[in-house]
Amino acid sequence: MKRWLIILVAALSVAPAAAIDTGKAFDDPELQARYEKLISEVRCLKCQNQSIKDSNVFLAADLRREIRRLIAEGKTDPEIVDFLVTRYGEFALYRPRTSGKTLILWIAPFLLVLFGGFALYRVVRHRMSLPIDDAGSEGGTE
């Protein structure tokens, strides 16, 4: 028990050390919130399964710096997202925008659920129409 506690404490104490850009970028809490949201939604292109918030690769640091600069210049979030997409493409966004190209990403899950629901409905309806036969309930005549 004690050993586990020590391991837990050790693990927790590592987290702040590994964090990146722990300092605040903006004094204004509203700007800071926008900054944090933006950097957590931009993919680090060099380390493609991390956001630029989570990565300490220099490219991620450069992109954070650019986003800080753009916010400080008074750019809106869509303008900043645009800045990134014109340079790196839609892939840079973890939350792709709804557009012709990315529409399939957004509707595919709903289509799949619809398709699955329809299939389920068909199966259930078919089963319900089968005569109840206790003796041979294993398979029926399917």
Q: Residues in the site for other proteins, rule: CB under 8 A?
A: 45-46, 48, 58-59, 62-63, 66, 85-89, 91
Closest approach of Cβ 127 to other proteins, in Å? 14
Q: What is the residue type of 69?
A: R
| Phi and psi at residue 102, to the nearest 5° | -100, 5
Closest approach of Cβ 58 to other proteins, in Å? 6
Closest to other proteins by CB, 33 vs 72, is 72
Closest to other proteins by CB, 91 vs 94, is 91
DSSP 110-133: HHHHHHHHHHHHHHHHHHHTSPP-
CB 68 within 8 A of CB 80: no
Closest approach of Cβ 89 to other proteins, in Å? 4
Closest approach of Cβ 3 to other proteins, in Å? 41
Closest to other proteins by CB, 41 vs 66, is 66
DSSP 92-106: GBSS---STTTHHHH
